[in-house]
Amino acid sequence: MRFCQICQIELKEVTLHGETVDRCPTCNGIYFDRGELESIVKIVSLFQSTTLSEIDIDTISSAEKSRLLKCPADGSDMMKKEIACYTIDVCENCGGIWLDGGEISALKIAENQIKENIQLYIRLGE
């Protein structure tokens, strides 16, 4: 049984784009086991690996940094990772990912934008 680390209630299994994931019925946060979110994370990580000649700015807010979550699957501390201007929580132990309500839509929009403009991002990174 897995629990939402924000609302402290049991997560419910739902099917999302063909994958069974755990969702909080209160805050709509979603927990993805390793591999369930890979297509979005891979394309966004590819974009982030492009080196631009600009200073990298830490944009994770202090409130977000101080919000420590435990992995619903194994209880490990989750680490903060910035993906497409959103902070997601990743379990370094099992590879699970926690997305707050609405973040899956934002990441999908970012993925689509990157796919549409990949050539521009490649040229900017040269």
SS3 assignment, position 66:
helix
Which one-letter DSSP state was computed for residue 107? H
- How does pLDDT run across 71-124, given as a tens digit for each residue? 999 999 998 887 767 788 889 899 888 988 888 877 777 777 777 777 776 666
Q: Are 77 and 116 in contact (CB under 8 A)?
A: no
Average pLDDT, the chain: 79
Structure tokens at 73: 């699957």
The per-residue pLDDT for 124 is 63
| Banded pLDDT at 10 (limits 50, 70, 90) | very high
pLDDT at 38 over 60: yes
Q: Are 45 and 83 in contact (CB under 8 A)?
A: yes
Helix (H) or strand (E) holding 81: strand 78-83
